[in-house]
Amino acid sequence: MDDEMEKEIISDNKEAEALQKKHLSMLDRLSKRQQSRSTSSTEPSTESTSSFLSRFSELKSSIESHLSDSQSVASDPSQLKPHLDKISESISDLEKLVAQSSYFLPSYDVRSSLKTVSDLKRSLENLSSELIPKKKFSFKNKASKKERDSVVPESKQSIAPVYNSVQPSYVARDSPGFRNKTGEVLVGEFKESEIGEFTISDLDSCEVRIIGCIRALFIHRLKDCRVYVGPVTGSILIEEAEGCVFAIASHQIRIHGARRSDFYLRVRSRPIVEDCNGVRFAPYCLSYGGIEEDLRGADLDAETGNWANVDDFRWLRAVQSPNWSILPENERVGILDISNSGSMKKEI
C-alpha cells in the first residue's frame, strides 16, 4: 500500500469518527430534551391549576344563573322539575371536576371548591323545598325474614325522620335511605338504573348492602356497622362513624369524625379525613354479580392506589398523620361477596 492510499484511508476513518461523534452528540441532546419534556409534563403546574379554576368558575356561574332563573321557570310546573334536575346534574358534574383534578390542586383550592359545591347543593335544596312540595319516600319490605330489610323507594309513602348532626358538612337530605335501625340487615338493589342521592343515618349494629350504582351517598352517625356499597358515580360523605367497616367505591370520599373504623376503598381522588382517629385503609374488596360492569359504567374500574394516599386536613405537618394508617394485610378481610342477599359469603 503506497503512502497516498494510506493517507486517504486514515482521512476517511477520521471523517467517519467525526460523523459518529456528531451523531451521538445529537442523540444525547434529543434524549435530554425528551426527558425535560417528560418531567415538566408530569409535574403539577400553575397552568393546570389556573385552567381548573377558570373552568370551575365558568361552571359555577352557569349554575348560579340557572338557580336565579328558577323562580320564573316555576310559573310552568311541567318545566320546573326538569329544570331543577338539570341544575342537580350540573352540580354533580362540578363535583366530579373537583374529584378528577384534586390530585394536582393545592389543598386550599380543594377545600374551597368543595365548600362552593356544598353551598350550591344547599341552595338547590332550599329552592326545591320552596318551589316543589316535598315528595315522600318509604321502602318496601321485600324480605320475609326478620334479619332482612330490602328496600325500593315508593313515591307515595311516608319518610322516616331525618336528624341533623351537631356539625354537619352537608345538610341531611330528604332522600331515599336507611335511617334509625338497630341490629338489622338492610339491602338496597338498584341494578336496573342509577338512582340519585341515598342517605344512611343513625344505625347501630347493622349491615348495609347496596347493589348497583347510585350518584351520591351520605352517611351519618353509625356505630358498629358494616357498610358494603357498589360504585357511587359522584361523591361519598361520611360523618360520625365508630367501630365500623366500609367497602365503598367513588370518585371522591370525605370522612369526618370517624373512630376505630376500617375503610376498603376504590377512589379516583385522594380520600380526605377530618377529625378522625384510629381509621385504617385497604383496597376495595367487594363483589356481586355484575359489579365489574357497574364499575366500568361509573369509570371506577381502574385501581388508582389512592386508597393509600389519604389527606388529613387536620394534620399540617410533613410527617405521617397519626390519625390514619394502612390496614395490615394479615388483618384484612377477603373478597366480600354480597350477591346472595340472604346471607353474605366471605371468600378468602
Q: What tens digit of pLDDT does each residue of 4-47 get?
A: 555 555 555 566 566 556 555 555 554 554 444 444 444 444 45
The share of the chain scoring above pLDDT 70, in percent, equals 69
Give the domain-ending residue among 131, 146, 161.
131
Q: What is the pLDDT of residue 13?
A: 57
- On whether both 179 and 313 belong to a single domain, the answer is yes
Give yes or no: residues 327 and 190 share one domain.
yes
Instruction: Say which CATH number the domain at 56 has.
Output: 1.20.58.1250
Residue 116 falls inside a structural domain: yes
Report residue 2 as a C-alpha cell: 503506497
Neighbours of 69 (CB within 10 A): 12
Contact (Cβ atoms closer than 8 angstroms) between residue 200 and residue 218:
yes
Residue 4 lies in a domain: no
Would you state the pLDDT for residue 242?
97
Spell 44-55 as b/e; 16+ CB within 10 A means b: eeeeeeeebeee
155 vs 51, residue with greater confidence: 51
* pLDDT recorded at residue 38: 40
- Per-residue pLDDT band for 186 (boundaries 50, 70, 90) equals very high
pLDDT band at 167, cuts 50/70/90?
A: very low
Same domain, 298 and 265: yes
Same domain for 117 and 73, yes or no, is yes
Question: What is the predicted pLDDT for the residue at 157?
Answer: 32
Is 255 inside a domain boundary? yes
117 pLDDT more than 60: yes
Residue 231 has pLDDT above 50, yes or no: yes
Residues 74-91 have a mean pLDDT of 86
- Does residue 297 lie in a domain region? yes
d(CA 52, CA 130): 33
Highest mean pLDDT among 80-94, 105-119, 170-184, 293-307: 293-307
Indicate if 19 and 52 belong to the same structural domain.
no
Q: What is the pTM of this model?
A: 0.54
Cell matching residue 76? 310552568
Q: Using the predicted structure, report yes or no on whether residue 112 has a pLDDT greater than 70.
A: yes
CATH assignment of the domain containing 305: 2.160.20.70
pLDDT > 70? residue 276: yes
For 47, phi then psi, to 5°, come to: -60, -40
The Cα-based distances of 136 to 19, 157, 246, 251, 316 in angstroms read 82, 6, 28, 29, 44
Task: Clarify whether residues 168 and 294 are in a common domain.
Answer: yes
Helices (H), the chain: 3-42, 46-73, 77-101, 107-131, 291-297
Last residue of a domain, one of 109, 131, 153: 131
| Residues 291, 338 share a domain | yes
Total tally of structural domains belonging to the chain? 3
201-213 pLDDT per residue, tens: 999 999 999 999 9
Instruction: Kindly state whether residues 237 and 294 are assigned to the same domain.
Output: yes
One domain for residues 113 and 160: no
Given a cut of 90, is residue 144 above it in pLDDT? no
Confidence of residue 78 (pLDDT cuts 50, 70, 90): confident
Q: Are residues 126 and 155 in the same domain?
A: no
> Does residue 2 form part of some domain?
no
Are 35 and 166 in a shared domain?
A: no
Mean pLDDT of the region 320-346: 81
**Banded pLDDT at 260 (limits 50, 70, 90):** very high
Last residue of a domain, one of 131, 154, 186: 131
**1 lies in a domain?**
no
Q: What angle (nearest 5°) sits at the alpha carbon of residue 200, between those of residues 89 and 246? A: 100
The predicted structure's pLDDT at residue 245: 97
Predicted local distance difference test score (pLDDT) of residue 149: 45
State whether 242 and 327 are in the same domain: yes
Average pLDDT over residues 172-200: 82
Whether 190 is in a domain gets the answer yes
**Range(s) of the domain holding residue 298:** 138-347
282 in any annotated domain: yes
